[in-house]
Structure 1
Amino acid sequence: MTKVISFLNMKGGVGKSTLCFNMAYTAANHFNKKILVIDMDPQFNTTQALMEKYYSSEYYLDLVKEKKTVLRIFQNTTSIIQRAEEKIVPPKEIIQSLGDNLSIICGDLDLIMIESSTRGTENLLEGFIQRVIEEEDFDFIFIDCPPTHSFYTTSSLIASNYYLAPVKPDMYSLLGVELLQSVVSNVNTMNRARVQCLGLIFTMVRPTSVTQRRIIDSVREKNKGIKVFDKEMLYFQYNETGRIETFMYDMVSTKDRIVEITDEFIKELE
């Protein structure tokens, strides 16, 4: 059965998108899992990375012109007298294959123009994903969310079975986790959703930092009811300064760690 997981934290700069597309790439190529990535972050960093990896920025711009992005799910392109079923977007029209096991629905900067002005708009992503599940056999659907409490995060959470919170070990990111738990609780209550916390994954961890280790240990101690992943994504400067199309799985220095993180993730769900 397909599992839908949102990647989010209410604090930016924690490596959320980096973790999302690296885990998707690793799950597809190392573990032979069939993955669909949906980029709901208007900054669309995940889209940029995967497009550069498999195609090009020019190819992506063509997709935008052809309206083959996540924006299509939320756009009302029909008139008021047309039936609701005529507005349905066939999944195959906007899902882009990146290989045998990896696909993406690209993000779009113009997504910022979509808001929940019409009642029920926040449920459109869930309905779309249900059609995807009926037509395709993905093992996991990853949703990369923006680091804000917004229409986009609400839509993503409603559509998800679980959320995964990447956390940088500093006090500001930890406040983001606390806010996130409150947001998820409100979304579940207001929308009758059932998204559950899959766990926290520490990112950008410096092995020699005593302060970071103290924060990590404190979080593990104070949040015993929440899974904190054993494996951590270590800080690696190349993730920030290197070529966008070079992923952690491609490099000797980071391959083992992203494989371990992804393996723990898969085992937690299976």
Structure 2
Amino acid sequence: MSSLVENVLKRYAEVVEDGYVVEGGPRFKSYAVSNLRGGVGKSTMSFNLAYEISRKNSLLVADLCPQCNLTETILKGAHAKVTIANALTPKMLGPAFGDMPEDISYRVSSYIDDFKGGKACFAIPGDPELFAFPSSMYQQLQVALSRGEPKAVRTLLTSLHSIMNEEAKDKKCEILLMDTSPFYAGGTHLAWCAADALIIPVRVDEHSIESLNLTLDMLSNKSKDFNMWNDRAGGLNSPKIAAIVMTMAGSKSQLSSTPGKASQMYIERAVKLAEKHRNLFVNEDISNAIVVTDDFVSSGQISGAESIPISQLKVGRFHTVSEGKRLQVNKSVTRYQRQLRYLASIL
């Protein structure tokens, strides 16, 4: 086992046993939660990070995934009159396709009482129309490219960046957070262009490690689509990696502060991939950017279904989720609460 992996596991134990956190605040203004695979916990993480960050910093969060899981959680199923698609369409296709809405975000504390008591948190809802968005987006980019207009390419690629910054200025938000889809094209591509740094959730399984490899390669390889378009725009920067979050790790027992052998194997592989792409990371010591979180199981289901941040779940309380299923919050939730606070502290 390498010293980097040992450092990751040592820090995991410190977080679980002592609630270790890093003092300070977010080092970047804008973050995207992203991995090119579904089911790794992006929306659950985005929702809970929105809560943790908004305790100290005013926050604007946007849902760039057409499945809209984050929107359903953060707005508790309320119908949104204005979505991110309403803002992106005129920016990307021009005023003939509608006017840019004046107000595109909703105050989260109006829907979720738990968000009261911190700093202001606003959310821009997602939209199923984003499933079809990539085709029109790349058509516009190809037109701009064929005319030899790098400035136009840059304007299109930074459209989400402009939207987020304009809304953040209007709502006086300090930090931006974007939840993305498992597909690179469209909203995720624009989120990478808008973000200063990425938070990459990686489930401890084979497919997630493969998607981590693909994600890091797309960010660093000059011949891949993302960097090619950055070059065509006259030289846009790639986001840094703020954190790789190993999700759904299994411990030997609920009392153990050491992940199980299978989880350790995937953690080691993630560390090796991070070493290979060391230039993408904020920290020289990449072990500081790798966070291990346990399998949230019922707590994650309750958090999403009931729109309750994991930090606000109470041990022993029962909750009714989908199809009348009743789940109880067990003592392990304290581990998850500590892990989420730690993750928010290193960003």
Give TM-score, length-normalised by structure 2.
0.65
Tell me which residue corresponds to 1:114. Answer: 133
Tell me which residue corresponds to 1:249. Answer: 311
Cα shift readout 1:58-85 (whole Å, capped 9, x = no counterpart): x32xx2xx3x1111122239x97x699x
Aligned ranges for residues 160-239 of structure 1 at < 5 Å?
160-185=195-220, 186=224, 187-191=226-230, 192-208=236-252, 209-221=260-272, 223-224=274-275, 225=278, 226=281, 227-228=286-287, 229=289, 231-239=291-299
What is the deviation of 1:137?
3.0
The unaligned stretches of length 5 or more in structure 1 are none
What is the deviation of 1:249?
1.3
Tell me which residue corresponds to 2:164. Answer: 129
Give TM-score, length-normalised by structure 1.
0.82
Cα shift readout 1:35-78 (whole Å, capped 9, x = no counterpart): 211000001111111122xxxx2x32xx2xx3x1111122239x
Tell me which residue corresponds to 2:45. Answer: 19
Equivalent in 244, 261, 267 of residue 340 of structure 2 = 261
Cα shift readout 1:92-127 (whole Å, capped 9, x = no counterpart): x11100125221001111222223132344432111
Aligned length: 252
Q: Which amino acid aligns with 1:105?
A: I
With over 3 angstroms needed to count, the CA separation of the structure-2 counterparts of 1:238 and 1:83, relative to structure 1, is closer
What is the deviation of 1:236?
2.3
Cα shift readout 1:175-199 (whole Å, capped 9, x = no counterpart): 1011111222342452223311112
CA distance in 2, matches of 1:98, 1:179: 34
With over 3 angstroms needed to count, the CA separation of the structure-2 counterparts of 1:114 and 1:205, relative to structure 1, is same
Q: Which amino acid aligns with 1:24?
A: A
Tell me which residue corresponds to 2:88. Answer: 74
Q: Which amino acid aligns with 1:166?
A: P
Cα shift readout 1:216-263 (whole Å, capped 9, x = no counterpart): 134325533353545422112214543612331122442553344344
What is the deviation of 1:170?
1.2
Rg larger in 1 or in 2?
Answer: 2
- How much identity, in percent, do the aligned residues show? 19
Q: Secondary structure at the match of 2:243?
A: strand
Q: Which moved more, 1:38-47 or 1:238-247?
A: 238-247
Q: Secondary structure at the match of 2:212?
A: helix
The unaligned stretches of length 5 or more in structure 2 are 1-26, 110-118, 142-152, 231-235, 253-259, 316-331
